[in-house]
Amino acid sequence: MKKTLLLTSLVLMLLMTACSAGTETGKTGDTSGQKTNATTDGNDSAAKEAEAPSMYNVGDTVTIGDWEVKLESFEYKPELKPNDVIVFSPDEGNIYAIANVTVKNIGSEVNTFLPVISMKNKDVGVMLKYDDKYDFTSTNLLGYQEQLYMASLNPLSTKTGEIVFDTVKEVQDSDKPLYLIFTLGDDKYKFAVKKQK
């Protein structure tokens, strides 16, 4: 019995170590997919400006790995009703924040946008950042045909769809900044959805 318990504990520790090896904690700065060449002459402000992520706006198109991504629009809805039978509702007191996005596979083979199981350096990820400190992950609504989750596209194919976030209503009502951030590896591509007033 003790051998089984010891073996099980060892396997769990190895799994936990392997799963956490790819994550970084305490990371405060964003990087961008667009690299800026800057010369540093001892001026810290110039170096900080060069390291700052590029900011994109609604309507901009960005190349992220094998994908061209365009944020078409951003909106809020209290529920999603794709037909007369199915209704998707956010958690009580929340609202759906919806990014309408067009993606194009510019790679040379079939690829999946926002796969359920992803690899950090190979697949695109997405999050919503509110007030520069709160991260909301996207919501996979099973059976909702308009979403871009698991969108499998052949080379040079394009698809427009929604990325849905279940957020608190404060996100919609606040004047605080809100960003849609796509990630690929350590690179971040930041779209200003709502700028601070």
Q: Which two tokens stand for residue 11?
A: 């396997």
Residue 56 resides in a domain: no
* 128 lies in some domain: yes
pLDDT of residue 36: 38
Residue 82, beta-bridge partner list: none
Mean pLDDT for 131-159 is 95
User: Residue 179 belongs to what domain range?
Assistant: 73-197
Domain count, the chain: 1
Question: What is the radius of gyration, based on Cα positions, of the chain?
Answer: 20
Here the CATH number for the domain that contains residue 87 is 2.60.40.1240
CA atoms within a 13 Å half-sphere pointing along the CA-CB vector of 22: 10
61-108 tens-digit pLDDT: 999 999 999 999 999 999 999 988 999 999 999 999 999 999 999 999
